[in-house]
Every structure is written in C-alpha cells, then in structure tokens.
C-alpha cells in the first residue's frame, strides 16, 4: 500500500534522557529531511546509501542552527514501516525536539497519529495484527515474563501457529471442494467420515491454544490478587510489606481502607496485580459500605484471593461466612500478627479451609513473607504457566476469534453426524479459516484456495 503523505513524530519521551529521536516515514521523508539537515560532509541524504548515519545540523528557514544531530537514513523497503524512514537524533530536551519537529512539518511532513508508524508496518504487510499487539505489550510489559511472552509473539510464535492450523484446514477444504466440484472422483464411502478425525484433531489443538488464554492474560496483565478480610486484620500492612513501600494508609482504626489500592508486585519475573481492599463487615457508614461492595467485586474478579485473619483474636461469624464463600476458589489463607499471643492457630483454621494453603506471617515484623511469596508462586506453577516457547493467546480479541473458529469446527462435526451435504460442511470450514485469520488480522481470500487447488492432485 502506498501513502502519499509523510508522517513525523517525536518517538522518545520528550525531556527525558540526553537524546531524543524524531522519526519521519513516507515517500518524501528523505527529501523533507534534506531540506532541514546540513551534513558536515556537505552531501545530501538522497545521494547517500541506505542504512547509514550522518552527522550535521538542523537549520531553520533563516539558516540558523536549531540543533546538532545524528541522522539515521533507512531507505525502503528494509525499514520498520517498509517506507523510507529517516530518524533525527537530537538533544533530548523538549525545546530542541519540538523545534526540529516543527521544522520537519513546515517542510511537508504531517504529524503522525498515535501508533501510525506501526499501523503502516501492518498495512504494508511487514507485521500482522498479533505482532502489532505484541509491540504494544512490549511497551507495557509489567515484568520479565510479560516481556518474554510479548517478544515471542512479536517474533511470530502465534502467527506461525495460526498459519499452521490454517494450512491444515486448507488441506481439508480442498479435499471437500474437489469432491463437490468433481463428484465423479468421489470414492464409494462418504468422504465426510474420512476427515472427521482430522477435523476433531485440529479442533483439539485449537482448544489447547484457547486454554493458554487465561494464563496469557495473567502474564500480560498480572495475576489479579485480592487481599481481603475483616477490618484491621492488617491487609494494608501486608500490601506495604510485600511492596516494601508505604503505599497504603495503615492505622489502628478499623475501616481505614475504602477505595481499592492497586499495585504491581514482581515475584521471580511473574507479575501480580495486588488489590488492597476495604475490610468486609456490616456497616452503616455510607462510604465504607461502598468500599465493602468493591471488596466483594474484587473477590469475584480475582485470580487468587489472599484472605487475611488476625491470629491474635477469635474468629468472627462474618469471617467464617467469608471463608465459606471462598470454598472452591483459589485462596491462600494468611494468619497475620504472629508476633502477638496466638488465639487462632493453623490447626484451628484447618477446620474451615480444607486443603487450601495457610501461611503464617507478621506483616509488621516482616516475618513469613518469603513463604507467602512461595505460596503465590506455587499458584502459578500449579496453573502450568511456563515461560515456554509455545504460542499463547494473550488478549480478548484473539480469544474471541479463536472461540468462533472452535464453534465453527464444532458445527462441522454436528453437520457430518447429521449426514448433511458436503457444501454445508465446506461453509463452516471456511468460517473457521476466516476466524483463525482474524487472529492475525487477515480474511480468507479466494486466491489462497485457488492457489492450493493448483497444487492439489485430482487423482488422489
Ligand atoms: N531508533 C529506533 N530504535 C528502535 C526502533 C526504531 O524504529 N527506531 N524500533 C521500532 O519499533 C524498535 C526496533 N524494531 C525494528 C523492527 C524492524 C526494523 C526494520 O528495519 N526492519 C526491516 C529490516 C530488517 C533487516 O535489516 O533485516 C525489515 O523487516 O524489512 C527496524 C526496527 C526498537 N528500537
Ligand atoms: N502486632 C501486629 N500488628 C499489626 C500487624 N499487621 C498490622 N498490624 C496493625 O494492625 C492495625 C491495622 O492494620 P491495617 O494494615 O491498617 O489493617 P487493614 O486490614 O488494612 O484494615 P482496614 O483497612 O481498616 O480494613 C494497624 O495498627 C497495624 O499496625 C502485625 O503483623 N502485627
Ligand atoms: Mg486497609
């Protein structure tokens, strides 16, 4: 795809760091930068070979020097956008960066929309949609594991996997369409039965890929971890102890926390999104009541719940009710304040918690935190989350398309069982192909199928 306009933007955070980059991409990128850049060598960029670096100055229209710069020249097509790209490396302050950008725009470039360079890389076919999303995920990565998942996706792990599944579908579609178009080549038994197993095997693979969606989301966004319990048991103290910073307000007044306090915690590379919540109790206070509602919502949405109990006082009826509500959920029970005289022990608690893990800590004295971190990590290990090499589904959009592809293949199975004609089967197979393609941002094109038919042997 060819765009007529040339785009430009400051590609680094302005005012942060010693150097800032202005990126220019498009048909006129080289010509525009040549108008504002004077190389020390006196040569123009137009005559310079691609992928070279040039020292010189950016001048304004009166010939006054705006900044001393390095210019990177990258001519199409081997560039980020597949267009001509010129990057001007300026001094990092906001004033030189803005001034150089304005000069570039005055000479014919247009200010880029956000993400527009990456959009061009996509529309020019250098990367697919899953890779576009991977770039966003790299920028927003919470920890090393999140980063590694995103980098895998940028390198095309998911895209390759999808392609492989699409190829398998194409084989099946081709066999069916041959039998529709050339019924005389049909063998005696119904063809559908023949590839029913192939379709089921493929659908199983898609379902395996779908199973990575939950863990993929956790790796990308963090394991949602709600810290809950009665007022004053030390939830905010625990949040602060894990973060090693005084993020949440701690007082000895029950009902201190109202709004949910969120923070990321990195445990051996895995991101956890901690939610410190309001203590759960019956209350007449309007603000606290809303806080308690929010605590309950965060329990509902959490991947794992840390339920805190004050070991220095008797269990309360509301507390026992909450423990019962948490049956069947992923919970780690945390007995806090072990520095005080114990009233509740792990043995007493076990009557309510079944085989869910219990950890004893003192948030105040920072005791037992390693054990708690270990229990949180075990949750990951038990989930089978690995930083492995396999493709993962990492967002809702990809998940929706995959679910639709699976539904289409499920339908194929039903259609075959009902003995429906082969063209009905073909329609659902095409749908499945299209939905898979949507994951990487493509739609089924006739040429793809036609191309396959040219390779397909009629005699077989
Ligand atoms: N200065 C600068 N740093 C940057 C970027 C950039 O655009 N500019 N990137 C931007 O996000 C990232 C690097 N990503 C890039 C991805 C592809 C190509 C590229 O030119 N690809 C060509 C050539 C590949 C080759 O020579 O083998 C291609 O795929 O055809 C460049 C950067 C991070 N660092
Ligand atoms: N002795 C002792 N006191 C603790 C410990 N952890 C917290 N506390 C104290 O318990 C009180 C309540 O602590 P918070 O962290 O505010 O409790 P919370 O559960 O967040 O309370 P709400 O926000 O009101 O629901 C404070 O006075 C803390 O200093 C502990 O391990 N040992
Ligand atoms: Mg609190």
Question: What's the confidence (pLDDT) of residue 137?
Answer: 87
CATH number at residue 436: 1.20.120.430
Angle ∠(341,344,345) on CA atoms, nearest 5: 95
Closest-lying ligand to the alpha carbon of 76? 1
Calculate what percentage of the chain has a pLDDT beyond 70: 91
- Give yes or no for residue 234 CB within 6 A of ligand 2: yes
Q: Examine the fold and report which residue of 383, 409, 425 is the final residue of a domain before the chain moves on.
A: 383
Measured by CA distance, the residue closest to atom 31 of ligand 1 is 80
Measured by CA distance, the residue closest to atom 5 of ligand 1 is 80
**Overall domain count for the chain:** 3
Measured by CA distance, the residue closest to atom 26 of ligand 1 is 78
State the residue range of the domain holding 189: 134-212+392-440
Same-domain pairing of 123 and 139: no
In a domain, 406, yes or no: yes
Question: What's the confidence (pLDDT) of residue 126?
Answer: 92
Q: Is 279 annotated as a binding residue?
A: yes
Same-domain pairing of 365 and 301: yes
**CA 86–ligand 3 middle distance (angstroms):** 52
**CA 229–ligand 3 middle distance (angstroms):** 10
Q: Whole-model pTM above 0.95?
A: no
Same-domain pairing of 172 and 300: no
**CA 261–ligand 3 middle distance (angstroms):** 9
Question: What's the confidence (pLDDT) of residue 459?
Answer: 22
Q: Examine the fold and report which residue of 108, 127, 146 is the final residue of a domain before the chain moves on.
A: 127
- Give yes or no for residue 241 CB within 6 A of ligand 2: no
Locate 418 and state its tokens: 């009902």
- Give yes or no for residue 198 CB within 6 A of ligand 2: no
Locate 126 and state its tokens: 């250098």
**CA 138–ligand 1 middle distance (angstroms):** 14
In a domain, 448, yes or no: no
Question: What's the confidence (pLDDT) of residue 192?
Answer: 64
ipTM: 0.83
| Residues, Cβ < 5 Å to ion ligand 3 | 235-236, 256-257
Same-domain pairing of 69 and 114: yes
Same-domain pairing of 98 and 198: no
Q: Is 256 annotated as a binding residue?
A: yes
In a domain, 295, yes or no: yes
User: Ligand 2 pocket test: which of 278, 279, 362, 363 has the largest number of ligand atoms within 8 Å of its C-beta?
Assistant: 363
In a domain, 452, yes or no: no
Residue of 187, 193, 188, 153 lying closest to 172 (CA atoms): 193
Of ligand 2's listed atoms, the one at least distance from the Cα of 367 is 31
In a domain, 232, yes or no: yes
Locate 30 and state its tokens: 């080289």
Which tens digits make up the pLDDT trace of 234-287?
Answer: 999 999 999 999 999 999 999 999 999 999 999 988 899 999 999 999 999 999
In a domain, 98, yes or no: yes
In a domain, 57, yes or no: yes
Question: What's the confidence (pLDDT) of residue 88?
Answer: 98
CA distances from 432 to 157, 203, 207, 335, 387 (A): 20, 10, 13, 50, 28
Q: Examine the fold and report which residue of 102, 127, 152 is the final residue of a domain before the chain moves on.
A: 127
Which tens digits make up the pLDDT trace of 325-350?
Answer: 998 899 999 999 999 999 999 999 99
Q: Check if the beta carbon of residue 85 is closer than 8 Å to that of residue 103.
A: no
CATH number at residue 288: 3.40.50.300
Calculate what percentage of the chain has a pLDDT beyond 90: 66
Residue of 192, 164, 187, 198 lying closest to 176 (CA atoms): 192
Measured by CA distance, the residue closest to atom 7 of ligand 2 is 234
CATH number at residue 52: 3.30.1360.120
**CA 237–ligand 2 middle distance (angstroms):** 6
Identify the segments of the chain with pLDDT beneath 70. Answer: 1-2, 182-192, 384-389, 443-460
- Give yes or no for residue 8 CB within 6 A of ligand 2: no
**What 3 state SS string does the chain have?**
CCCCCCEEEECCCCCCCCEEEEEEECCCHHHHHHHHEEECCCCCCCCCCCCEEEEEEEECCCCCEEEEEEEEEECCCCCCCCCCEEEEEEECCHHHHHHHHHHHHHCCCEECCCCHHHHHHHHCCCCCHHHHHHHHHHHHCCCHHHHHHHHHHHCCHHHHHHHHHHHHHHHHHHHHHHHHHCHHHCCCCCHHHHHHHHHHHHHHHHHHHHCHHHHHHHHHHCEEEEEEECCCCCHHHHHHHHHCCCCCCCCCCCCCCCCCEEEEEEECCEEEEEEECCCCCCCCCHHHHHHHHHHHHHHHHCCEEEEEEECCCCCCHHHHHHHHHCCCCCEEEEEECCCCCCCCCHHHHHHHHCCCCEEECECCCCECHHHHHHHHHHHHHHHCCCCCCCCCCCCHHHHHHHHHHHHHHHHHHHHHHCCCCHHHHHHHHHHHHHHHHHHCCCCCCHHHHHHHHHHCCCCC
- Give yes or no for residue 339 CB within 6 A of ligand 2: yes
Same-domain pairing of 68 and 174: no
Same-domain pairing of 328 and 369: yes
Same-domain pairing of 367 and 401: no
């Amino acid at each position: 795809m060819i765009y007529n306009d040339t785009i430009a933007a400051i590609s680094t955070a302005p005012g942060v760091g010693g150097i800032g980059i202005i990126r220019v991409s498009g048909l006129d990128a080289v010509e525009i930068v040549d108008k504002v850049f004077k190389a020390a060598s006196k040569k123009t960029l137009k005559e310079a070979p691609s992928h070279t670096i040039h020292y010189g100055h950016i001048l304004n229209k009166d010939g006054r020097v705006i900044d001393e710069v390095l210019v990177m020249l990258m001519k199409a097509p081997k560039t980020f956008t597949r267009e001509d790209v010129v990057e001007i490396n300026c001094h990092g302050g906001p004033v030189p960066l803005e001034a150089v950008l304005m000069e570039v725009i005055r000479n014919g470039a247009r200010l880029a929309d956000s993400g527009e360079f990456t959009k061009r890389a996509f529309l020019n076919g250098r990367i697919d949609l899953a890779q576009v999303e991977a770039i966003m995920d790299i920028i927003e990565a919470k920890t090393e594991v999140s980063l590694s998942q995103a980098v895998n996706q940028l390198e095309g792990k998911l895209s390759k996997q999808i392609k492989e599944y699409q190829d398998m579908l194409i084989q099946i579609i081709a066999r069916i369409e041959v039998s529709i178009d050339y019924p005389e080549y049909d063998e005696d038994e119904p063809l559908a039965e023949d590839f029913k197993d192939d379709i089921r095997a493929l659908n199983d693979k898609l379902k395996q890929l779908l199973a990575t969606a939950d863990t993929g989301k956790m790796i990308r966004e963090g394991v949602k971890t709600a810290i809950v319990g009665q007022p004053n048991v030390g939830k905010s103290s625990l949040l602060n102890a894990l973060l090693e910073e005084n993020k949440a307000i701690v007082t000895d007044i029950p009902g201190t926390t109202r709004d949910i306090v969120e923070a990321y915690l990195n445990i051996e590379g895995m991101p956890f999104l901690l939610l410190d919540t309001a203590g759960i109790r019956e209350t007449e206070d309007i603000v606290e009541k809303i806080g308690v509602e929010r605590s309950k919502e965060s329990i509902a949405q959490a991947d794992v719940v840390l339920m805190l109990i004050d070991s220095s006082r008797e269990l309360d009826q509301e507390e026992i009710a909450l423990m019962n509500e948490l049956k069947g959920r992923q919970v780690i029970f945390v007995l806090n304040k072990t520095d005080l005289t114990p009233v509740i022990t792990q043995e007493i608690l076990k009557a309510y918690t079944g085989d869910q893990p219990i950890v004893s800590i003192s948030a105040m004295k920072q005791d037992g935190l390693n054990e708690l971190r270990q229990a949180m990590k075990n949750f990951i290990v038990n989930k089978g989350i690995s930083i492995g090499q396999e493709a993962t589904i990492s967002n809702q959009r990809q998940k929706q398309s995959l679910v639709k592809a699976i539904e289409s293949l499920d339908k194929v199975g039903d259609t075959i069982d009902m003995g429906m004609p082969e063209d009905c089967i073909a329609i659902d197979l095409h749908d499945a192909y299209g939905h898979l393609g949507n994951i990487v941002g493509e739609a089924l094109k006739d040429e793809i199928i036609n191309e396959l038919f040219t390779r397909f042997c009629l005699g077989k």
